[in-house]
């Protein structure tokens, strides 16, 4: 068999003129001028090269060959008379002496045009992902992902971390999401679970004497898809440090991530250490969310006492009222209505508005008629100037904050001058409550990570109101996207038992659900802390994409289906029998 290629399709330059070369790639298209003249574009992973067909014999070899077939072309490089400055190989062309068909495309029509595949229906793109990935623009995100992962590995190794892989088949544990279960063939009626995260394994590694661990860890959670969350499977830069504090974790992350974002990011400006730190309750109170986008310069102002008593029923019955002052607002009433409408779609809560008059002393529009006696107070407290608009959210505490957060994000995205769209702004959200009252259960539940160390230790758990106990938990947020959760871990069995007791699990429950970790800690464990930034979300932000599916090689659709492979799929009865499973048909079917 002859050599497949001497050069790639992105490699040849004017200095190569006169050389005999062999290229191999995809037949992208051909502009046919006559029966003995045509200009063929050959594409491979590295670029494109123009091939000039100048004889009927060569033209006949391509007769009936569909685009996207793979070709091998032997020929001579020459200087192009009409150069193309838009491509690296634009000064040369190849005159073929031999053309071979390596792989024939058997379809006259493609499901979409390769170089415009991003405009196609998403399900078509996922079903024919192998064609979608031939689009250089789509493929570039996968290349970017590979380079980012390599950079992260090098950075972590440079900080003294060991890359250690942890099991994929493990046991089910209550970590906040649904498990993917795997039936056992050898142990009837028993199941493995795919890990939601390597949480217990990495903590056990710390108890085993390892000092610094990391891995690019696959995690599996049976969750619904979102723009920033892929169903089923995702990857984390998982890390853990022994004899470490929250500050030690922050120092590593603040040194590892900004250079990667600055080097590969769509935006070349990234926060430098130290990142801004915001207490969880302060984040809610100031930004209406625990995932604030610090590129936006807007904040919530407390307005409950100021606006109560005005006679407007939504304000009178509200537990909390918040206002967002937008200075220099130049939008029309139509723009205002779109902002309140978009915020309602996101938050499910109504919002209101009022505008400062041209005299700077009166309010107009929206709910202004209810605020006649409060005009001066509102203008002063919100520092309103002529033309400024104040948007207002009201309702239960959670609803008013959620609506206020949606207003900030909507205004920042749509009103010029309030958002730096060319930057990566990081922050730490710290001091999460250890517990909360569950919306569905109405019972005391862990707010975040059940394996976290409570601030104040055992004394706080035994003597303080559980809802006031804070934890050494932290989230890393970038541009309004939660990249990661982490914590200083609860490594003391006595504190662990007490923490779970408050959440309704007794000592025997803890020993049964977390036997390995509990027992390991009983042999003396070091204080340890860690975090696990999401690789998929990082790459999504760095690439400037709005959907996480754009940076995953073979993503599932929103319904957790792999349209290309046909998963999930039915299996043979014999396979079910081997793992001791019988399917029971629903009577409704």
CA-nearest of 424, 411, 441, 468 to 281 is 468
The number of domains in the chain is: 3
Q: Which residue has the tokens 């967002």?
A: 324
Residue 254 to residue 242: CA distance in whole angstroms: 18
Whether the CB-CB separation of 136 and 117 falls below 8 Å is answered with no
Residues 233 and 312 occupy one common structural domain: no
**Of how many residues is the chain composed?**
589
Q: Which pair of structure tokens corresponds to residue 588? A: 């409704």
Residues 99 and 149 occupy one common structural domain: no
Which secondary structure element, helix H or strand E, spans residue 307, and what is its range?
helix 304-307
Residues 34 and 163 occupy one common structural domain: no
Tell me which of 361, 385, 416 is where a domain ends. Answer: 416
**Is residue 74 domain-resident?**
yes
Mean pLDDT score of the chain: 94
**Is residue 281 domain-resident?**
no
CA count, 13 A, side-chain hemisphere, 397: 4
Residues 26 and 71 occupy one common structural domain: yes
Q: What is the pTM of this model?
A: 0.91
Per-residue pLDDT at 94: 97
Q: What are phi and psi of 310, to 5 degrees?
A: -90, -10
CA count, 13 A, side-chain hemisphere, 357: 11
Whether the CB-CB separation of 405 and 288 falls below 8 Å is answered with yes
CA-to-CA dists, residue 557 to 69, 144, 544, 564, 571, angstroms: 28, 22, 20, 10, 21
**Is residue 19 domain-resident?**
yes
**Is residue 469 domain-resident?**
no
CA-to-CA dists, residue 427 to 204, 250, 282, angstroms: 29, 11, 13
Radius of gyration of the chain from Cα atoms? 30
Whether the CB-CB separation of 556 and 230 falls below 8 Å is answered with yes
Residues 313 and 405 occupy one common structural domain: yes
Per-residue pLDDT at 174: 67
The per-residue pLDDT for range 112-137, each reduced to its tens digit, is 999 999 999 999 999 999 999 999 99
**Is residue 284 domain-resident?**
no
Which residue range(s) make up the domain with 198?
127-271+526-589
Tell me the mean pLDDT in the region 22-51: 96
Residues 134 and 260 occupy one common structural domain: yes
Tell me which of 416, 449, 465 is where a domain ends. Answer: 416
**Is residue 434 domain-resident?**
no
CATH number for the domain spanning 393: value is 3.30.1360.30
Tell me the mean pLDDT in the region 495-523: 92
Per-residue pLDDT at 269: 87
**Is residue 85 domain-resident?**
yes
Residues 138 and 262 occupy one common structural domain: yes
Per-residue pLDDT at 448: 80
Residues 330 and 390 occupy one common structural domain: yes
Handedness of CA 112, 116, 122, 125 (dihedral sign): positive
1 confidence band (pLDDT: 50, 70, 90): very low
The per-residue pLDDT for range 79-101, each reduced to its tens digit, is 999 999 999 999 999 999 999 99
Residues 134 and 232 occupy one common structural domain: yes
Whether the CB-CB separation of 392 and 355 falls below 8 Å is answered with no
Residues 264 and 131 occupy one common structural domain: yes
**Is residue 497 domain-resident?**
no
């Amino acid at each position: 068999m002859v050599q497949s290629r001497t050069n790639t399709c992105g490699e040849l330059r004017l200095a190569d003129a006169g050389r005999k070369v062999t290229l191999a790639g995809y037949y992208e298209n051909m502009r046919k001028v006559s029966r003995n003249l045509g200009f063929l574009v050959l594409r491979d992973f590295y670029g494109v090269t123009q091939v000039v067909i100048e004889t009927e014999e060569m033209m006949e070899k391509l007769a009936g060959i569909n685009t996207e077939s793979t070709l091998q072309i032997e020929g001579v490089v020459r200087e192009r008379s009409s150069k193309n400055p838009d491509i690296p190989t634009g000064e040369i062309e190849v005159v073929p002496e031999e053309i071979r068909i390596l792989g024939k495309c058997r379809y006259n029509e493609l499901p979409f045009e390769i170089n415009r595949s991003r405009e196609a229906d998403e399900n078509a793109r996922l079903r024919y992902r192998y064609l979608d990935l031939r689009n250089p623009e789509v493929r570039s995100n996968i290349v970017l992902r590979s380079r980012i992962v390599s950079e992260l590995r090098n950075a972590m190794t440079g900080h003294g971390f060991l890359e250690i892989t942890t099991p994929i088949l493990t046991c089910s544990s209550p970590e906040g999401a649904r498990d993917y279960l795997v039936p056992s063939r050898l142990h009837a009626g028993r199941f493995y679970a795919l890990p939601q995260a390597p949480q217990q394994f990495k903590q056990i590694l710390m108890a085993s004497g390892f000092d610094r661990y990391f891995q690019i860890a696959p995690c599996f959670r049976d969750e619904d898809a979102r723009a920033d969350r892929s169903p089923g499977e995702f990857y984390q830069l998982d890390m853990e440090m022994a004899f470490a504090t929250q500050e030690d974790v922050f120092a590593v992350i603040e040194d590892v991530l900004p250079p990667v974002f600055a080097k590969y990011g769509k935006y070349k400006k990234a926060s430098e250490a130290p990142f801004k730190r915001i207490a969880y309750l302060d984040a809610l109170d100031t930004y209406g969310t625990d995932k604030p986008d610090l590129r936006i310069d807007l904040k919530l102002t407390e307005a409950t006492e100021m606006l109560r008593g005005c006679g407007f029923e939504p304000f009178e019955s509200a537990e909390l009222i918040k206002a967002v002052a937008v200075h220099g607002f130049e939008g029309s009433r139509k723009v205002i209505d779109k902002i309140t409408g978009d915020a309602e779609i996101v938050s499910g809560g109504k919002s209101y508005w009022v505008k400062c008059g041209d005299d700077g002393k009166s309010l107009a529009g929206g709910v202004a008629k209810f605020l006649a006696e409060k005009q001066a107070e509102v203008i002063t407290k919100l520092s309103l100037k002529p033309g400024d608009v104040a948007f207002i959210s009201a309702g239960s505490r959670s609803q008013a904050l959620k609506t206020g957060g949606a207003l900030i994000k909507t205004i920042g995205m749509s009103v010029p001058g309030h958002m730096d769209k060319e930057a990566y702004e990081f922050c730490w959200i710290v001091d999460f409550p250890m517990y909360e009252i569950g919306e569905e259960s109405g019972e005391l539940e862990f707010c975040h990570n059940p394996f976290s160390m409570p601030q104040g230790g055992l004394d706080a758990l035994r003597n303080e109101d559980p809802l006031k106990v804070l934890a050494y938990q932290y989230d890393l947020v970038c541009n309004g996207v939660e990249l990661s959760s982490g914590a200083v871990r609860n490594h003391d069995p006595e504190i662990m038992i007490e923490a779970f007791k408050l959440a309704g699990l007794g000592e025997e429950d803890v020993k049964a659900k977390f036997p390995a970790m509990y027992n390991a800690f009983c042999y003396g464990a070091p204080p340890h802390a860690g975090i696990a930034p999401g690789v998929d979300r990082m790459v999504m932000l760095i690439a400037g994409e709005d959907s996480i599916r754009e940076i995953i090689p073979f993503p599932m659709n929103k319904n957790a289906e792999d349209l290309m492979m046909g998963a999930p799929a039915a299996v043979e009865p014999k396979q079910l029998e081997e793992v001791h499973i019988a399917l029971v048909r629903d009577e409704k079917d």
